[in-house]
Each structure stands twice: as C-alpha cells, then as structure tokens.
Structure 1
Amino acid sequence: MTSVLFKKKDDKIIAFDINGHAGYASEGEDIVCAAISALSQSVIIGLEEVLYIKPDYNIKDGFLCMSIRDNSIEDIEKSQVLLKTFLKSLQSISVSYVGYITIQIEEV
C-alpha cells in the first residue's frame, strides 16, 4: 500500500511524503503506482519549470518527499493550486482503488 502524508500550515500545503508501493499489480503493470508517480513528479516539474519555485525533494524507489516550507510566503501561495489539485487527484484515486493508497493530512 502507498501512504501519502500532506503537511499543512495555516491551511496551505507545504510538504508531502509518499511511501511504499500500491501493490495493485506486479511491478511494471501497477497502474495505481504509475498514476501516483506521474502525478507526484508532475507537481515537482510544475513547481520548478512553470512556477519557478525551488522545492526541496528526494526521490527513491517507493519514496518521494517534497517541501516548500522554507520558501517565501509568495511561493507557498503560488503553489497552492498545483498542490491542492494533486491532493484532490490522489483522493480520487483512493476512492477508485480502496486499500491501495491512504492519504493523511497533518497540520504542522
């Protein structure tokens, strides 16, 4: 199962951690893992190449963490449409593929 933790401050998403593999299908055929991976990496590309925001992130097999908590308030504000869309997209996947992804939101 993939677990996703979003971290919010003052109702703004400032970070997320993604851990694990969904286990929906075998490696290379797991559409849930592929969707989560594509969406999460698109967020980082959008932040860097469209919004010109430099997030801190780390990507490894079965793990991705991203944070904009040390960026300016302006950067955090600009990133919200992208990050909230990402959250809504993952929530949609979690409804369709119950038991393969869990999402938590933590106020920090």
Structure 2
Amino acid sequence: MIKIKIARDDNGISLISMHGHAEYDQYGKDIVCSAASTIIIGGINAIAQLGYLSFISYDVDAGDVELKINNTECAELQIILNTLLVQFQSIEESYPKNIQVQEV
C-alpha cells in the first residue's frame, strides 16, 4: 500500500511524504503507483517551473518521496500543494486497498 502523509502548520501544508507500493499490479504495470508518482513528481515540477523551488526541499529514493515546505506562507504554493492533496484523495476513493492518505 502507498501511504501518503500530510503535515500542516499554522499556514498550511508543511510536508507531503509518499512511501510504499500500491501492489495493484506488477511493478511497472501498476496504474495506482503510476498515478501517485505522476502527481508528486508533476507537483514538484510545477513548483519549480513557477519559481518556488527555493521554498521547498525534497528527496526521491526508489519511489519514496518526501517533500518539505520551507515557506508555508506562500499562498500560491499552498494552492499547488492542496491540489496534490485532492488528487491523492481522489485516487484513494477509487483504490482504498492500495493507497491511503493520512493527515498527521
């Protein structure tokens, strides 16, 4: 199962971590893993393209991703992060045995 953890501070989302494998299908054919990976990497790419890369730090290691937000006061960045959260929750609604979103 993919576990997505979302942490918040007073200003908004301060951490998104993604760990595990959905086990929906074989590695390389797993649509749930593919969707989750696309969301988080696409989000990081959007943050970079919009010029907010200095507001975050991230680590990608064999499918596990940890995205730390160093400046949670940026409203535009929070919109992107909340969009990622909604996308993860949408996948969770369809595949609850394969992905879990948890606010910690």
For the criterion TM > 0.5, the same-fold answer is: yes
- What is the one-letter code of the residue matched to 1:8? R
How is 1:69-84 mapped onto 2 (pairs within 5 angstroms)? 70-71=70-71, 73=73, 75=74, 77-84=75-82
Structure 1: 5+ residue stretches without partners: none
Structure 2: 5+ residue stretches without partners: none
TM-score normalised by structure 2 residue count = 0.91
SS at match of 1:29: coil
Cα RMSD of the aligned pairs, angstroms, is 1.4
TM-score normalised by structure 1 residue count = 0.88
Aligned to 1:57: 58
Kindly indicate whether the alpha-carbon contact (under 8 Å) linking 2:58 and 2:65 is maintained by their aligned counterparts in 1.
yes
Kindly indicate whether the alpha-carbon contact (under 8 Å) linking 2:37 and 2:63 is maintained by their aligned counterparts in 1.
no
The structural deviation recorded for 1:49 is 1.2
Aligned to 2:92: 94
| Percent of aligned pairs sharing the same letter | 30
Aligned to 2:7: 7
The superposition leaves residues 46-98 of structure 1 with CA deviations (integer Å, 9 ceiling, x where unpaired) of 11112433210000113100011x3363x3x2211111111001101001011
Q: Which runs of 4+ in 1 moved over 6 A?
A: none
Number of aligned residue pairs: 103
